[in-house]
Structure 1
């Protein structure tokens, strides 16, 4: 029966053999690369330039547009492309034109094809985003409800909600 120490010694010996084989194979591959480079008169900079150019003109880049900076925070210098979720420094701004980079972005947007106002301009559909002020208050517990979502139990069973209105 083998002991733990003898098994660990065998593992170390096998690991050393594996490392030696990897080094030998790597040396052979590097030698082939050197031979090919000298045969074709190539340098490392040629390979770097080719691989860099290849990445820049690759298929993935041609399918995906590069986003440009459309807005910049004058205080911190943080930028936003105008795509995706708006960062905190511009999310609550009513007029984003003061954050626009360049003259073309600062011009007000016009109506689109279907006559619908541009995003964020005069949009009245749906409920406003974010937390809303409380509209109803329970006089006994002091709990409040904004009127959005499911009515709380203290208000759900009441037919006339006017006594619970705030202000």
Structure 2
């Protein structure tokens, strides 16, 4: 067998051994940490860990209305497509108390 192949075989054996040792050590460390968490009553916040919430973010509160139709009393906050009662007209006429 060539020296290169022997070295590759040794590397493979050492890597497998290192993986086993690491796994054993990780298990020991995790057990110790769990024991100390219980012993001291620690929470995720105490450890600086944030709980990740999945899904949609909470809805934002609607913006207060900026414009009001004097005839119907309908309002619009100035965002998005303007309603028919204000479209193409001078918006200053419809401003609410500003």
TM (norm. structure 1) is: 0.27
Higher relative contact order (CA 8 A, sep 6+): 2
TM (norm. structure 2) is: 0.44
